[in-house]
C-alpha cells in the first residue's frame, strides 16, 4: 500500500476536479447523470479521506504523514509539499464529509437559476480548494489553494444568491482579497528572511533568523489575511451579508469550512513560524476574540432574520476558537481545533435548517414564523437540538470547543499576561449566557408558540428523504463528539503538543 | 454495585432514547419503559445503599454487621462512630486527553451519593407512576416521559459524578431537562417564557460554576477529580486565594441553580410546567443540585469561607436571607403551587445556610427529609388541581371531605414541613438550628427560628384555604385515581419516618454514620441534642400554626388594615381594645409580616429584582440594537463602504479619459509621442 | 541626392497619414492613412539603408511591406464587419469600450 500512501493526499485533493471535468462533458440536459457524477465524486473523495484516516498512524499524530515533497515552481523554490498531521486530519474529514452532505441536500433543492451543472461544478472546485488548503505544507501552495476557494464562493453567492447578492458577493470577494494581499506579502517576507516556503522547515526553525520586530510586522500581514477569513471583530462585516444572501449550500460550506481556513492558518502558519510575534500579539488576539464573543452575541439579539442571526452567532463562536488559539497553550489549541469541527457541524447544520425553513415558508423573518414544532415537529426538534448544541450544552459537540477554551484562558502560556487572560475568561463565560439568550430566543420565536394565521393554511411538509440522508450523519456526529470528545482530542493532542513544544518550548 | 453505579444513571438514559424512538408505538405511549427503567434504577440504588451501609458497618467493625436496609436499621442504636475512615468507592475510565492531561470519567460513591441516588430514583419513580394518570391524554405524553427519563438520568449522573467536569455535564443536562419540562406546553407564550427564564437564570449562575471548576482544576494541579480537590483543600495544599475565589464562584452557581436570593425569581415562574415536573424538579432533585454541589465540595467552601471561624460568611448570609424572603413571600400567594415554590426557596435557603454555618450533616439531612414531604406536597397540589382544574386557592376550600386521601397526606407533609414532632422536618430543622447555635452562628439560629415560625404560619394558611371552609369553585371535585394516591401515601410515610434515621433525641445517629464522609472532610462541630432548644423550636412552629389559625380561621385581628388610616384613632383604639396582646401579635407580627414586609418583599421581588432581570434583558436587547444599528451598520460597516465609495469616485474621474473612440486614443498616443520627442530634443 | 529630401517626403507622408488616422471617420480612409504612415517609414528605411550601405534597412522594409499586406487584409475585414453590423463605415459609432 505504499502507492496509496504517496498518492492519497493528491487523490483526495484532485478527484473533485476530475469529477468536475467529467461533469462538464455531460450535456446540460442530462441533469440526473450530472447529479450522479457529482455525488459519486464527493463520495469517492470522502471514501479516500476515510481511508487516509484509517491508515493514519495515531501514535505518531505529531509528525507529518502521507508526506509528498516534489519540485513545483523551481524558480522561486516553491515545492508541491503536502502532508497531514493530527491537526489537519479532522478538518480534512470535516470538509469531505460536509461536501457530501451538501451535494445530497442539493439533490432537489437547486436555488434559482436552476442550473445544477454549474452549481455542482462550483461545489467540486470549492472542495479542491478547501482540501488543498488543509494539506498544503508549502506557503505558496497554501496561498494558491486559499485563493482557489474564493472564486467558486463568489459565483455561488453572486449567481444563486438572494436579492442583494451582487453587493454581498463583491463585498465577500474584495474583503478577503484585501486580506490575502497582505498575507502574501507576509509569505514573501518570510521567504526573503529565511529562503524557504516550506512550512515544516519554517516551524522547526521556530522563528530563528527573523528578528522580533520583523516578525511582528510579518505577523501583522498574516493576521490581516487570516483574521478577515475567520472573521474576527472588527473584520467580520462581510460575513452576515454573505451568509444572508448565499444559497443554503453556500452558507453551509462557508460556515462549516471556509471560516476554518482562517483559524487553521493561525494554527498552522502564524503561530509556529512566528512564535515570538505570536506571544506579542496574543493579548490583542485574545481581546478581539472576547470582543467578538460579546459583540456577536449582542448583534444576534438584534436580528429579525433567522439566517442572519446564525451568521452573527458564527462571529461569537469563532471568538471562542480564537480565544483558545490566543492562549498559546496545548489545551487552548486543542480546544480551538475541536471548536472548529464542532462549529462546522453545528452551524453548518443550522444553516441547512434555516434554508429549509426559508424554503418552506418563503420567509426567514422570525416575527412571521412560529409554531414550527406544531407544523413540522421533526424540523422543530432538530432546531432545538442544534440550538442546545450551539449554546454549548455538555454532552453535545459545542461544549468541548467552549469549555476548554475558557479553561485555557485561566492559565495561558507563561509569557502572557495572566490577569488579562483571566479577565478574558470571565467575559467569555458571560458570553455563554448570552449565547443561550439568543439561541433560545430564536427557538422560542421560530419553533414554539402557535402557527401564525398567515401560514395556517400553508401545506408545509416535514423533513424529506434527501434532507434526512444529508442531516442524520451530522446530527449523529454532534452527539458522538459530545459524548466522547476523544474522537478529536485523541487525534489532535500529539500534533498540538509538538507544535507548542517547538514554538514555545513546551 | 458501588463500583458499577454508572449503570443506575445509564438505565434511564437508555430509556430516554428508547421512548424517543419507540415510545409512540408502545401500547402505553412509552410510559411503561420509563417506569421500568426507573424501577430498575431504584432497585439498584437500594442495592447500592445496602452495600454502602454494609461497607460502613463492617469497616467500623461495630455490632450490627450486615445491614438489612435503611429503614430496618433506623432504630438500631449505633455504637461510638469512632474515627475509622471509610473511603469513597471510586471507579473511572479514561474519557479523553486534553493538552497532556488524562481526563477521566468516573463515579464517586459515598454516603452522600448513595443517599442522593436513593432519593432521586425513588421520587422520580413515584413521579413517573403519578404522571401516567396526571398526564393522561396529553398531546405529548410520550415526549413527556422521554424528558422525565432524561431528567432522571442527568440528575443521577450529577450525584454519582467523580469529577467536577462530569458533575458539570449532569448539572447542565438537568438544566436542559428543566427547560424542556417547564416549557412542556409551549403553545402558550407564558410557559415558554418561564422555561427560558429558568434556563437563563440558572445559566447565569453557571458562569460561576464554570469559573469555579476552572479555578479548582488549576488549583489542584490540573485535575477535575473531586476526591483530590477535597483532599488538597483539607490539607491546605491550595492557596487561600484560590479557595476563596473558587468558593465565591461556586456559590454563584449554587445561587442560580438552587433558587437562592437574589436569583430565586425563576423558581415560582417555573410552576408553569406540569405539576409532576414541579415535584421532581423543584422539590426533590434539581434545585437541590446546588446544595449537593456545596456538600460535595464542602472542604473548598469550608476553607474558602473560613466557616470554622464563626461570624458572617457569604454562604450563610445568602441562605439566611433566602429563608426569610422566601417564607415571607409565601404568605401573599393565591396559587397553591406558588406557595409551595416559595416554601421550597425558603427551605433550600435553610440547607445553604446550614452549609454556611458548618452544619454539613444537618444540611444534607434536611435535603433528605425535605425531598419526601415537599414532593408529597407538590403531588398533593397536583391531585387537588386534577379535581378542581385550577391552582387558585380562592376557588378551593372544603376539599377535606371529598378528597380524604389527598387531604391526609397533605396534612402530614405540611406538619412535617412545619417541623412538628416527631415528623421528618422536625429532626432535620432542629439539627440545623442546633448546630447554628453551637458553632458561633447565633444570628443564624434566630433566622432559623423565625423561618420555622413563618413556615408553620403560611402552611396553615395554605391548608386552611384549600381543605377547610366551604367549597368556592364551580367544578365537581372528586378523589384522584390510585396512580396518584399511591405515590402520595408512599411519600407521606417517608415524611413521617425519614427523620428517625437521625433522631438524635433517641441517640440514633444512623444518618450521620452512613452519610457523613470520613475521609477528606473538614472538622465540623456536631453538637449534642439539646432538649430546651428542640422544645422551643417546636413551640415556635406551634405558635406559627396558632397565630395563623387565629388570623385566618377565626378571623381574629382587624381586616383591611392597609385601607384604613389608623393614625388618627390610634390612641383610642389602643385603649379600647381588650385584646391588647392579641393585637400586638396579630398586627405587629403577623400583620406586618403578611402586610408590608411580605408585600414589600414581593414588590421588591417583582419590581426591583425581576425588574433588573427584565431590564437587563431589554437593556441588552437595546445595546444589541444600538451595537448593530449604529456601531456595526453605520460606523464599522460604514467605513468599509466609504473606502469602496472613494475608490469608485476616483474611477469615475478617470472614466472621462476612456471615451471608447479609437481615434481619440490615437490622438492621445501621438500627442504624447510628440511631447516626449520634443522633450527628448530639448533635453539633449 | 540629399538624404534630407527623402526624409522630408517621408515626413510629409507620415503627417498626412496621422491626419487621416485622427481626423477621418471613414474606416477605409483610416486604413489607407495607416498605409501611408507605413509607406513613410519604408521610405525612411530604404533611404537610410542606401545612404549608410547597411542592408538591414532594406530587409526591414520588405518585412514591413509583408506585414502591411496582412494588416490591410485584417483591417478591411474588420471594416467590412463594422459596415455589415452598423450599416456605416463610420468609426465614431464604435464606442462600446467606453467606461
Instruction: Please enumerate in sequence order all residues whose Cβ is within 8 A of that of A464, keeping only pairs 6 or more positions apart, or say none.
Output: none
Contacts 24+ apart (CB under 8 A), C12-17: C12/C40, C13/C37, C13/C39, C13/C40, C13/C43, C14/C40, C14/C41
Lowest mean per-residue pLDDT among A231-235, A326-330, B349-353, B668-672: A231-235
CA distances, B601 to each of B268, B322, B406, B453, B552 (Å): 14, 11, 32, 18, 21
CA B477 – CA B403 distance, rounded (Å): 8
Q: Above 60 in pLDDT, residue B47?
A: yes
Can you list the positions of beta strands (E) in B66-138? 89-98, 101-109
Task: State whether residue A108 is helix, strand or coil.
Answer: coil
CA A336 – CA A259 distance, rounded (Å): 13
Return the CA Rg of chain A. 22
What kind and span of H or E run contains A65? strand A65-73
Q: Which among B187, B218, B621 is the nearest to A410, CB-wise? A: B218
Task: State whether residue B614 is helix, strand or coil.
Answer: helix
Q: Given CA atoms C74, C79, C81, C82 in this order, what sign does their dihedral have?
A: positive
Q: Which three cell numbers stand for residue B149?
A: 427519563
CA C83 – CA C27 distance, rounded (Å): 9
Q: Confidence band (pLDDT; 50, 70, 90) for B676?
A: very high
Q: Stretch B534-548: mean pLDDT, rounded? A: 82
Q: Above 60 in pLDDT, residue B595?
A: no
Q: Above 60 in pLDDT, residue B515?
A: yes
HSE-CB at B92 with a 13 A cutoff on CA atoms is 22
Q: Which of C33, C95, C96 to mutate to test the interface with B (most CBs of B within 10 A)?
A: C95
CB contact under 8 Å between C18 and B670, yes or no, is: yes
- Is B625 buried (19+), middle (13-18) or exposed (0-12) by CB count in 10 A? middle
Burial track A340-352 (b if 16+ CB lie within 10 A, e otherwise): bbbbbbbbbbbbb
| pLDDT (tens digit per residue) in B410-440 | 888 888 888 887 788 888 888 888 888 776 7
Q: What pLDDT score does B61 carry?
A: 53
Expressed as residue numbers, the domain containing A81 is 3-504
CB contact under 8 Å between B660 and C99, yes or no, is: yes
Instruction: Please enumerate in sequence order all residues whose Cβ is within 8 A of that of B133, keeping only pairs 6 or more positions apart, or say none.
Output: B480, B481, B482, B483, B484
On whether any CB of chain C is under 8 Å from the CB of B666, the answer is yes
CA B264 – CA B202 distance, rounded (Å): 9
CB contact under 8 Å between B660 and C22, yes or no, is: no
Determine the number of helices (DSSP H) and then strands (DSSP E) in chain B: 29, 2
Q: What is the mean pLDDT of chain A?
A: 88
**Number of structural domains found in chain A:** 1
Give the nearest chain B residue to A174 (CA atoms). Answer: B644
Q: Confidence band (pLDDT; 50, 70, 90) for A303?
A: confident
CA A375 – CA A396 distance, rounded (Å): 26
Q: Stretch A301-307: mean pLDDT, rounded? A: 80
Q: Which of B19, B96, B182, B646 to mutate to test the interface with A (most CBs of A within 10 A)?
A: B96
Which residues in A lie closer than 8 A to residue B173 (C-beta atoms)? 393-395
Q: Above 70 in pLDDT, residue A297?
A: yes
Q: What pLDDT score does A187 carry?
A: 92
B contact chains, 3+ CB pairs < 8 A: A, C
CA C81 – CA B37 distance, rounded (Å): 87
For residue B417, how many other CB atoms are within 10 A of its CB?
Answer: 30
Instruction: Please enumerate in sequence order all residues whose Cβ is within 8 A of that of A284, keeping only pairs 6 or more positions apart, or say none.
Output: none
Q: Given CA atoms B200, B304, B369, B50 in this order, what sign does their dihedral have?
A: positive
Assess whether chains C and A touch, using the rule of 3 or more C-beta pairs within 8 angstroms: no
CA A175 – CA A501 distance, rounded (Å): 34
Q: Above 80 in pLDDT, residue B469?
A: no
Q: Which among C30, C91, C95 is the nearest to B659, CB-wise? A: C95
Residue count (chain A): 506
B10 CA to chain A: closest CA distance, Å? 13
Residue that has been written with the C-alpha cell 467606453 in this structure: C98
B631 within 8 A of B369, measured Cβ to Cβ: no
C83 CA to chain B: closest CA distance, Å? 16
CB contact under 8 Å between A490 and B99, yes or no, is: no
CA B312 – CA B356 distance, rounded (Å): 9
On whether any CB of chain B is under 8 Å from the CB of C21, the answer is yes
Q: Given CA atoms B606, B609, B610, B612 in this order, what sign does their dihedral have?
A: positive
Q: Above 90 in pLDDT, residue A320?
A: yes
Among B387, B376, B454, smallest CA distance to B414 is for B376
Which residues in C lie closer than 8 A to residue B677 (C-beta atoms)? none
Q: Which of B98, B166, B216 to mutate to test the interface with A (most CBs of A within 10 A)?
A: B98
Return the CA Rg of chain B. 32
Q: Confidence band (pLDDT; 50, 70, 90) for C40?
A: very high
Q: Stretch B112-130: mean pLDDT, rounded? A: 89
Residue A73 bridge partners (DSSP): A78
Which residues in B lie closer than 8 A to residue A309 (C-beta atoms)? none
Q: Which of B201, B220, B624, B634 to mutate to test the interface with A (most CBs of A within 10 A)?
A: B624
Which residues in A lie closer than 8 A to residue B95 (C-beta atoms)? 484-486
Q: Above 90 in pLDDT, residue A223?
A: yes
Q: Which residue has the higher pLDDT, B238 or B331?
A: B238
CA A231 – CA A249 distance, rounded (Å): 19
C11 CA to chain B: closest CA distance, Å? 13
Q: Above 50 in pLDDT, residue B70?
A: no
CA distances, A370 to each of A363, A380, B189 (Å): 12, 10, 11
| pLDDT (tens digit per residue) in B366-379 | 888 888 888 888 88
Lowest mean per-residue pLDDT among A433-437, B59-63, B125-129, B354-358: B59-63
CB contact under 8 Å between C95 and B658, yes or no, is: no
B3 within 8 A of B89, measured Cβ to Cβ: yes
Q: What pLDDT score does A351 carry?
A: 93
Q: How far does CA A432 lie from the centroid of its chain?
A: 20
Q: Which among B97, B183, B211 is the nearest to A429, CB-wise? A: B211
Q: Which residue has the higher pLDDT, B538 or C62?
A: C62
CA B395 – CA B471 distance, rounded (Å): 7
C24 CA to chain B: closest CA distance, Å? 9
| pLDDT (tens digit per residue) in A67-110 | 888 888 888 888 899 999 889 999 999 999 999 999 999 887 77
- Is C89 buried (19+), middle (13-18) or exposed (0-12) by CB count in 10 A? middle
Which residues in B lie closer than 8 A to residue C92 (C-beta atoms)? 661, 663
CA A307 – CA A245 distance, rounded (Å): 9
Q: Stretch B308-336: mean pLDDT, rounded? A: 81
CA B429 – CA B422 distance, rounded (Å): 12
What kind and span of H or E run contains A71? strand A65-73
Q: Which fold has domain C3-88?
A: Helix Hairpins (1.10.287)
CA A187 – CA A222 distance, rounded (Å): 8
Task: State whether residue A285 is helix, strand or coil.
Answer: helix
CB contact under 8 Å between B661 and C22, yes or no, is: no
Q: How far does CA A23 lie from the centroid of its chain?
A: 27
CA B532 – CA B535 distance, rounded (Å): 5
A382 within 8 A of A479, measured Cβ to Cβ: no
A407 within 8 A of A399, measured Cβ to Cβ: no
On whether any CB of chain B is under 8 Å from the CB of A11, the answer is no
Task: State whether residue B104 is helix, strand or coil.
Answer: strand
Q: What is the mean pLDDT of chain C?
A: 87
| pLDDT (tens digit per residue) in A348-370 | 999 999 988 888 888 888 888 88
Parse chain C into domains and list their residue ranges.
Answer: 3-88
Q: Which three cell numbers stand for residue B564?
A: 384604613
Helical H segments across chain C, by residue range: 3-23, 27-52, 56-86
Q: Confidence band (pLDDT; 50, 70, 90) for C94?
A: confident
CA A209 – CA A44 distance, rounded (Å): 43
CB contact under 8 Å between A434 and B176, yes or no, is: no
DSSP state of B629: I
Q: Which among B192, B211, B623 is the nearest to A448, CB-wise? A: B192
CB contact under 8 Å between C91 and B663, yes or no, is: yes
Q: Which three cell numbers stand for residue A170?
A: 463583491
Instruction: Please enumerate in sequence order all residues whose Cβ is within 8 A of that of B149, keeping only pairs 6 or more positions apart, or say none.
Output: B12, B13, B15, B16, B19, B33, B34, B37, B38
Q: Confidence band (pLDDT; 50, 70, 90) for A322?
A: very high
Q: What pLDDT score does B559 carry?
A: 52
On whether any CB of chain C is under 8 Å from the CB of B658, the answer is yes
- Is A216 buried (19+), middle (13-18) or exposed (0-12) by CB count in 10 A? middle
CA A205 – CA A125 distance, rounded (Å): 34
Q: What pLDDT score does B601 carry?
A: 47
| pLDDT (tens digit per residue) in A421-434 | 999 999 999 888 88
CB contact under 8 Å between A437 and B620, yes or no, is: yes
CA distances, A275 to each of A211, A335, A468 (Å): 11, 19, 45
Lowest mean per-residue pLDDT among A268-282, A319-333, B549-563: B549-563
Q: What is the mean pLDDT of chain B?
A: 79
Q: Confidence band (pLDDT; 50, 70, 90) for B490?
A: confident
Assess whether chains A and B touch, using the rule of 3 or more C-beta pairs within 8 angstroms: yes
B240 within 8 A of B152, measured Cβ to Cβ: no
Q: What percent of chain B has pLDDT over 90?
A: 4
Q: Which three cell numbers stand for residue A100?
A: 457530501
Q: Which among B654, B658, B667 is the nearest to C22, CB-wise? A: B667
DSSP state of B163: B
Q: What pLDDT score does C74 carry?
A: 92
Q: Are strands A78-84 and A65-73 parallel, antiparallel or unpaired?
A: antiparallel
What kind and span of H or E run contains A67? strand A65-73
ipTM of the complex: 0.89
Q: Which of A170, A291, A440 to mutate to test the interface with B (most CBs of B within 10 A)?
A: A440
Q: Above 70 in pLDDT, residue B80?
A: no
Q: Stretch C6-34: mean pLDDT, rounded? A: 89
Amino acid at each position: 500500500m505504499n502507492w496509496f500512501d504517496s498518492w492519497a493526499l493528491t487523490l483526495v485533493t484532485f478527484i473533485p476536479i476530475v469529477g468536475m471535468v467529467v461533469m462538464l462533458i455531460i450535456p446540460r440536459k442530462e441533469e440526473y447523470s450530472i447529479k450522479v457524477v457529482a455525488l459519486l465524486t464527493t463520495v469517492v473523495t470522502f471514501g479516500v479521506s476515510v481511508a487516509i484516516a484509517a491508515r493514519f498512524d495515531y501514535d505518531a499524530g505529531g509528525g507529518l504523514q502521507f508526506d509528498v515533497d516534489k519540485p513545483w515552481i523551481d524558480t522561486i523554490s516553491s515545492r508541491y509539499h503536502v502532508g497531514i498531521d493530527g491537526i489537519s486530519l479532522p478538518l480534512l474529514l470535516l470538509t469531505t464529509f460536509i461536501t457530501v452532505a451538501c451535494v445530497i441536500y442539493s439533490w432537489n433543492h437547486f436555488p434559482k437559476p436552476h442550473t445544477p451543472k454549474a452549481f455542482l461544478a462550483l461545489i467540486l472546485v470549492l472542495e479542491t480548494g478547501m482540501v488543498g488548503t488543509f494539506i498544503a505544507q508549502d506557503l505558496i501552495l497554501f496561498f494558491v489553494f486559499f485563493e482557489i476557494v474564493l472564486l467558486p464562493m463568489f459565483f455561488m453567492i453572486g449567481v444563486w444568491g438572494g436579492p442583494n447578492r451582487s453587493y454581498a458577493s463583491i463585498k465577500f470577494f474584495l474583503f478577503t482579497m484585501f486580506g490575502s494581499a497582505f498575507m502574501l506579502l507576509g509569505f514573501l517576507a518570510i521567504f526573503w528572511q529565511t529562503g524557504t516556503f516550506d512550512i515544516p522547515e519554517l516551524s522547526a526553525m521556530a522563528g530563528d533568523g527573523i528578528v522580533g520586530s520583523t516578525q511582528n510586522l510579518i505577523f501583522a500581514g498574516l493576521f490581516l489575511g487570516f483574521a478577515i477569513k475567520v472573521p474576527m471583530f472588527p473584520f467580520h462585516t462581510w460575513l452576515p451579508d454573505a451568509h444572508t444572501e448565499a444559497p443554503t449550500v453556500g452558507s453551509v460550506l462557508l460556515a462549516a469550512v471556509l471560516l476554518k481556513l482562517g483559524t487553521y492558518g493561525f494554527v498552522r502558519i502564524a503561530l509556529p513560524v512566528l512564535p515570538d510575534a505570536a506571544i506579542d500579539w496574543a493579548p490583542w488576539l485574545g481581546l478581539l476574540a472576547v470582543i467578538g464573543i460579546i459583540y456577536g452575541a449582542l448583534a444576534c439579539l438584534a436580528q429579525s432574520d433567522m439566517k442572519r442571526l446564525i451568521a452573527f452567532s458564527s462571529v461569537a463562536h469563532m471568538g471562542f476558537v480564537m480565544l483558545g488559539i490566543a492562549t498559546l497553550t496545548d489545551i487552548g489549541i486543542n480546544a480551538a481545533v475541536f471548536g472548529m469541527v464542532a462549529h462546522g457541524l453545528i452551524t453548518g447544520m443550522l444553516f441547512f435548517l434555516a434554508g429549509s425553513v426559508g424554503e418552506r415558508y418563503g420567509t426567514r423573518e422570525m416575527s412571521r414564523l412560529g409554531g414550527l414544532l406544531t407544523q413540522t415537529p421533526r424540523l422543530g426538534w432538530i432546531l432545538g437540538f442544534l440550538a442546545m448544541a450551539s449554546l454549548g450544552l455538555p454532552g453535545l459537540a459545542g461544549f468541548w470547543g467552549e469549555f476548554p477554551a475558557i479553561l485555557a484562558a485561566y492559565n495561558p502560556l507563561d509569557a502572557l499576561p495572566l490577569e488579562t487572560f483571566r479577565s478574558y475568561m470571565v467575559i467569555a463565560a458571560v458570553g455563554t449566557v448570552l449565547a443561550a439568550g439568543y439561541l433560545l430566543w430564536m427557538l422560542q420565536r421560530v419553533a414554539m408558540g402557535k402557527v401564525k394565521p398567515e401560514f395556517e393554511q400553508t401545506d408545509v411538509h416535514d423533513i424529506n428523504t434527501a434532507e434526512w440522508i444529508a442531516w442524520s450523519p451530522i446530527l449523529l456526529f454532534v452527539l458522538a463528539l459530545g459524548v466522547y470528545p476523544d474522537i478529536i482530542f485523541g487525534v489532535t493532542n500529539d500534533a498540538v503538543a509538538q507544535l507548542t513544544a517547538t514554538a514555545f518550548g513546551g | 454495585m458501588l463500583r458499577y453505579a454508572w449503570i443506575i444513571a445509564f438505565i434511564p438514559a437508555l430509556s430516554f432514547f428508547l421512548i424517543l424512538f419507540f415510545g409512540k408505538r408502545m401500547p402505553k405511549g412509552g410510559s411503561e419503559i420509563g417506569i421500568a427503567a426507573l424501577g430498575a434504577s431504584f432497585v439498584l440504588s437500594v442495592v447500592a445503599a445496602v452495600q454502602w451501609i454494609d461497607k460502613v458497618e463492617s469497616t467500623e467493625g461495630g455490632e450490627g454487621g450486615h445491614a438489612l436496609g435503611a429503614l430496618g436499621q433506623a432504630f438500631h442504636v449505633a455504637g461510638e462512630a469512632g474515627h475509622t475512615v471509610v473511603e469513597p468507592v471510586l471507579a473511572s475510565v479514561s474519557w479523553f486527553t486534553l493538552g497532556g492531561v488524562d481526563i477521566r470519567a468516573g463515579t464517586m460513591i459515598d454516603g452522600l451519593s448513595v443517599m442522593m441516588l436513593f432519593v432521586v430514583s425513588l421520587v422520580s419513580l413515584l413521579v413517573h407512576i403519578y404522571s401516567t394518570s396526571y398526564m393522561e391524554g396529553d398531546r405529548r405524553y410520550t415526549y413527556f416521559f422521554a424528558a422525565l427519563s432524561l431528567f432522571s438520568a442527568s440528575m443521577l449522573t450529577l450525584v454519582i459524578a467523580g469529577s467536577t467536569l462530569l458533575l458539570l455535564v449532569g448539572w447542565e443536562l438537568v438544566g436542559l431537562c428543566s427547560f424542556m419540562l417547564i416549557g412542556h406546553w409551549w403553545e402558550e407564550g407564558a410557559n415558554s417564557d418561564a422555561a427560558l427564564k429558568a434556563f437563563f437564570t440558572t445559566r447565569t449562575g453557571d458562569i460561576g460554576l464554570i469559573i469555579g471548576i476552572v479555578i479548582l482544576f488549576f488549583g489542584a494541579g490540573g485535575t477535575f477529580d473531586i476526591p483530590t480537590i477535597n483532599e488538597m483543600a483539607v490539607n491546605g495544599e491550595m492557596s487561600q486565594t484560590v479557595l476563596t475565589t473558587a468558593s465565591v464562584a461556586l456559590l454563584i452557581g449554587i445561587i442560580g441553580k438552587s433558587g437562592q436570593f437574589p436569583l430565586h425569581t425563576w423558581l415560582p415562574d417555573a410552576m408553569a410546567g406540569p405539576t409532576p415536573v414541579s415535584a421532581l424538579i423543584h422539590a426533590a432533585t434539581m434545585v437541590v443540585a446546588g446544595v449537593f454541589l456545596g456538600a460535595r465540595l464542602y472542604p473548598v467552601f469550608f476553607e474558602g469561607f473560613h466557616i470554622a471561624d464563626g461570624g458572617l460568611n457569604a454562604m450563610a448570609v445568602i441562605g439566611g436571607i433566602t429563608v426569610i424572603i422566601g417564607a415571607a413571600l409565601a404568605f401573599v400567594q393565591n396559587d397553591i403551587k406558588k406557595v409551595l415554590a416559595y416554601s421550597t426557596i425558603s427551605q433550600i435557603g435553610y440547607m445553604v445556610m446550614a452549609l454556611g454555618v458548618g452544619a454539613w450533616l444537618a444540611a444534607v439531612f434536611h435535603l433528605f427529609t425535605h425531598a419526601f414531604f415537599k414532593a408529597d406536597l407538590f403531588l398533593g397540589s397536583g391531585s387537588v388541581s386534577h379535581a378542581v382544574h385550577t391552582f387558585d386557592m380562592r376557588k378551593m376550600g372544603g376539599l377535606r371531605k371529598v378528597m380524604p386521601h389527598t387531604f391526609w397526606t397533605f396534612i402530614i407533609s405540611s406538619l412535617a414541613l412545619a417541623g412538628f414532632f416527631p415528623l421528618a422536618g422536625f429532626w432535620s430543622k432542629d439539627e440545623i438550628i442546633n448546630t447554628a447555635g453551637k458553632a458561633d452562628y447565633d444570628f443564624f439560629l434566630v433566622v432559623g427560628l423565625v423561618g420555622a415560625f413563618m413556615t408553620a404560619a403560611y402552611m396553615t394558611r395554605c391548608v386552611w384555604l384549600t381543605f377547610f371552609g366551604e367549597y368556592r369553585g364551580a367544578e365537581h371535585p372528586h378523589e384522584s385515581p390510585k396512580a396518584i394516591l399511591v405515590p402520595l401515601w408512599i411519600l407521606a410515610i417517608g415524611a413521617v419516618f425519614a427523620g428517625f434515621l437521625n433522631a438524635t433525641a433517641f441517640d440514633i445517629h444512623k444518618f450521620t454514620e452512613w452519610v457523613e464522609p470520613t475521609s477528606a472532610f473538614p472538622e465540623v462541630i456536631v453538637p449534642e441534642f439539646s432538649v430546651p432548644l428542640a422544645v422551643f423550636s417546636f413551640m415556635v412552629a406551634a405558635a406559627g400554626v396558632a397565630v395563623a389559625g387565629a388570623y385566618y380561621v377565626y378571623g381574629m385581628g382587624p381586616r383591611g388594615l392597609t385601607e384604613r388610616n389608623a393614625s388618627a384613632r390610634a390612641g383610642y383604639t389602643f385603649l379600647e381594645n381588650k385584646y391588647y396582646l392579641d393585637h400586638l401579635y396579630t398586627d405587629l407580627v403577623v400583620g406586618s409580616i403578611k402586610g408590608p414586609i411580605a408585600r414589600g418583599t414581593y414588590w421588591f421581588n417583582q419590581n426591583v429584582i425581576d425588574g433588573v432581570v427584565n431590564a437587563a434583558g431589554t437593556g441588552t436587547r437595546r445595546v444589541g440594537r444600538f451595537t448593530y444599528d449604529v456601531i456595526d451598520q453605520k460606523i464599522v460597516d460604514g467605513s468599509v463602504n466609504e473606502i469602496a465609495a472613494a475608490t469608485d469616485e476616483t474611477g469615475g474621474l478617470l472614466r472621462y479619459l476612456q471615451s471608447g473612440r479609437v481615434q481619440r486614443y490615437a490622438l492621445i498616443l501621438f500627442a504624447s509621442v510628440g511631447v516626449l520627442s520634443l522633450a527628448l530634443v530639448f533635453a539633449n | 541626392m540629399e538624404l534630407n529630401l527623402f526624409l522630408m517626403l517621408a515626413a510629409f507622408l507620415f503627417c498626412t497619414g496621422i491626419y487621416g488616422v485622427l481626423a477621418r471617420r471613414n474606416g477605409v480612409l483610416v486604413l489607407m492613412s495607416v498605409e501611408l504612415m507605413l509607406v513613410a517609414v519604408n521610405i525612411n528605411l530604404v533611404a537610410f539603408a542606401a545612404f549608410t550601405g547597411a542592408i538591414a534597412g532594406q530587409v526591414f522594409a520588405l518585412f514591413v511591406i509583408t506585414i502591411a499586406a496582412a494588416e490591410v487584409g485584417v483591417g478591411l475585414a474588420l471594416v467590412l464587419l463594422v459596415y455589415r453590423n452598423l450599416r456605416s463605415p463610420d468609426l465614431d459609432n464604435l464606442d462600446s469600450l467606453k467606461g
